[in-house]
Chain A
Amino acid sequence: MTMKNIIQNINKAFDHRIRLGIMSVLMVNESVDFNSMKEFLGVTDGNLASHIKALESDEFISVEKQFIGKKPNTKYSITPIGKKAFQDHIAALEKLLQSK
């Protein structure tokens, strides 16, 4: 693989620590609710919500809204597209580090 190809696989969508964190968590968990995600990443509500929205609009993660009693509970999971994109991203990161 040429250098240019590797760089192409570095996904701009994952160019932020929080988005990287969200994807990492969802790679190893079937689904995660908002509060658990917040605790894992140690971020504020607003911050997390905006990054989730970005990943959702890229169709990398899917959102499932439901109610537990009267409390709303939102669960997030990774989509097949998201999984593929993130795996390519990790592979590209590793290749870049090896090539230097």
Chain B
Amino acid sequence: MENKDYLEDLKEIKNMMSKSSTFLSLSGLSGVLAGCYALIGALVAHLLIRDNDYIYITLESKTFQFLLIDALCILLASTITGIVLSHNKAKKNNENLWNATSIRLLTNFMVPLITGALLILLLLNEQVYGLVAPLSLIFYGLACFNASKYTFRDVRFLGITQIILGLIAVKFSGFGLYFWVLGFGLCHIFYGAMMWFKYERK
């Protein structure tokens, strides 16, 4: 057998190992857009809180309901954008969006995330409001970190950044919204743009 064939064999082994264990159709551009949605959402939240004259917001108040709707809209828009853009990227790579690697990525992402979401809801029920921002950043960071084993390494650094921001945010209660802007807004735009430059721009 020729030397070249051996080299090709080794390349094929490496390629199949990475293709079958990591989901590489995750779209960086969708991260940038998610960050933009978060910034818009934060602006809306800021205006809502200002209109409320910065009075303490209770769970039953109209303002809280609007804030909740605001947050859910961002979540929904980001998720849809992520799915659509990753679907397009997968199509280009001749992959299915739902395959063994993307399902594994999603499972590893969702377990820490849902744990965090439930914890936050339980704390809200106990009237603990101050930890919503830090905990959401920390658990989102853990979800990214956990999922990063099955996709681009950049997601790992996004996760670590969110965890650090979340921990700092504990010390600055009352500034939760600003930490959200930093974490969910600017970090997504930064890391999303980096991924886009590295893997998608052609």
List residues 1-31 of chain B with CB under 8 A from any CB of chain A: 1, 3, 6-7, 9-10, 12-17, 19-21
Of the candidates B1, B7, B12, B20, the one whose C-beta lies within 8 Å of that of A28 is: B20
Q: In whole Å, how far is B127's beta carbon from the nearest beta carbon of chain A?
A: 44
Chain A contacts of B96 at CB under 8 A?
Answer: 39
> Is B3 within 8 A of A40, CB to CB?
no
Q: A36-B99, A39-B96, A97-B3 are in contact. Are A25 and B9 (CB under 8 A)?
A: no
Q: How large is the interface on B (under 10, 10 to 19, 20 to 34, 35 or more residues)?
A: 20 to 34
Q: A28-B21, A29-B21, A39-B99 are in contact. Are A94 and B10 (CB under 8 A)?
A: yes
Chain A contacts of B57 at CB under 8 A?
Answer: none
Q: A28-B17, A97-B7 are in contact. Are A21 and B100 (CB under 8 A)?
A: no
Interface of A is mostly: helix
| Chain B residues proximal to chain A, CB less than 8 Å | 1, 3, 6-7, 9-10, 12-17, 19-21, 94-96, 99-100
Closest 9 pairs (CB-CB, A-B): A24-B16, A36-B100, A25-B20, A28-B21, A24-B13, A21-B16, A40-B20, A28-B17, A24-B17
Supply 6 A–B pairs (Cβ within 8 Å), ascending by A.
A17-B12, A20-B9, A24-B17, A39-B100, A97-B7, A100-B3
